[in-house]
């Protein structure tokens, strides 16, 4: 499906079948395959490829922001229902979902904040590795740029503490178009969800927060802070990717399945 926004045909992926529609957004420089890998049976996954991601064109880079992405998702939600639906996302997708829940709570039946990279502050320090890669991508491509990043202080720190983060970041050097990837990484790393703690603490919708350790870009401290801040939130800690993708995906899928079932039947 395509959603027309500002003259751009954004890609909207919606699973067929039975069950409630759940809008669940991908992370920075990801696409619809990321949430699909952890989504359970019994519900219909809807993912909008954000501008410059997946099958969606970037358009004017000045419009690249979490706020714009959230507005696009709200427009996609309106094509299916005027009533509330479960909204969530991973990393940047979690920031998008938080913004929607705070600014349009009447549209949200449940909120899922998975591996949050933001709380309420813009340009958090944990996004610095993404920013560094984005700035490197502003330069002409070179044969040794990946090795240069691996040898940097950030690269060595990630190799020791969060090798999964490092694998994602080195992959960005090969993502095309290079200029769009650079803009996404630099602009979104300096951005934030644009909400305040008072807004989050006033949310009354059922909320699931998912996090895990061994992750520098998505610190477990962020997940714990948000779970403590939102009155109705429940935190589920799942196995980190570094312990095996199968265990990570199974833990994620189980937590999400339970939440969707409980929220849908409440």
Q: What pLDDT score was predicted for residue 46?
A: 98
- Identify the pLDDT of residue 18: 87
How does pLDDT run across 81-107, given as a tens digit for each residue? 778 999 999 999 999 999 999 999 999
pLDDT in tens, 132-141: 999 999 999 9
pLDDT digits (tens, 9 = 90+) for 221-239: 999 999 999 999 999 999 9
Residues in the chain: 266
Cα angle for residues 43, 46, 50 (degrees, 5° grid): 155
Model pLDDT, residue 31: 98
Query: What mean pLDDT do residues 198-217 have?
Result: 98
Tell me what the pLDDT averaged over the chain comes to.
97
Predicted pLDDT at 17: 87
What pLDDT, on the 0 to 100 scale, is given for residue 81?
78
| 266 pLDDT above the threshold of 80 | no
Give the percent of the chain with pLDDT over 90. Answer: 94
Q: What pLDDT, on a 0 to 100 scale, did the predictor assign at position 217? A: 98
Of the pLDDT bands very low, low, confident and very high (cuts 50, 70, 90), residue 202 is very high
Check if CATH label 3.40.605.10 holds for domain 2-122+191-265: no
Domain locations along the chain: 2-122+191-265, 125-185
What does the alpha-carbon distance between residue 97 and residue 193 come to, in Å, rounded to a whole number? 9
**pLDDT > 80? residue 265:** no
> Average pLDDT for residues 142-146, to the nearest whole number?
97
pLDDT at residue 82, as a whole number: 79
The pTM (predicted TM-score) of the whole model is: 0.97
Distance, CA of 229 to CA of 24 (rounded, Å): 21
CA angle 78, 92, 237 (to 5 degrees): 110
Alpha carbon distance 95, 78 (integer Å): 19
Angstrom distance (rounded) from CA 155 to CA 49: 29
Provide the pLDDT for residue 227. 98
């Amino acid at each position: 499906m395509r959603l027309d926004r500002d003259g751009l045909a954004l890609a909207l992926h919606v699973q067929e079948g039975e069950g409630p529609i759940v809008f669940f957004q991908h992370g920075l420089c990801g696409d619809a395959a990321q949430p699909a890998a952890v989504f359970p049976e019994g519900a219909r996954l809807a993912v909008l490829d954000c501008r410059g991601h997946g099958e969606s064109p970037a358009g004017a880079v000045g419009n690249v922001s979490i706020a714009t992405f959230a507005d696009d998702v709200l427009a996609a939600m309106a094509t299916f229902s005027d009533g509330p639906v479960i909204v969530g996302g991973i990393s940047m997708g979690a920031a998008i979902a938080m913004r929607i829940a705070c600014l349009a709570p009447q549209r949200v039946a449940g909120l899922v904040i998975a591996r949050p990279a933001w709380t309420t502050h813009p340009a958090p320090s944990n996004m610095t590795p993404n920013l560094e890669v984005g700035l490197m991508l502003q330069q002409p491509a070179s044969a040794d740029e990946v090795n240069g990043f691996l040898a940097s202080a950030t690269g060595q720190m990630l190799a020791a503490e969060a090798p999964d983060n490092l694998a994602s970041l080195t992959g960005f050097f090969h993502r095309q178009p290079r200029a769009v990837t650079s803009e996404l990484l630099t602009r979104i790393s300096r951005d934030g969800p644009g909400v305040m703690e008072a807004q989050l603490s006033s949310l009354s919708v059922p909320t699931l927060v998912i996090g895990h350790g061994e992750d520098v870009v998505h610190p477990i401290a962020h997940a714990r802070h948000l779970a403590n801040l939102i009155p109705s939130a429940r935190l589920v800690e799942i196995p980190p990717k570094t312990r095996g993708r199968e265990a990570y995906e199974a833990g994620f899928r189980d937590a999400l399945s339970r939440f969707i079932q409980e929220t849908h039947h409440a």
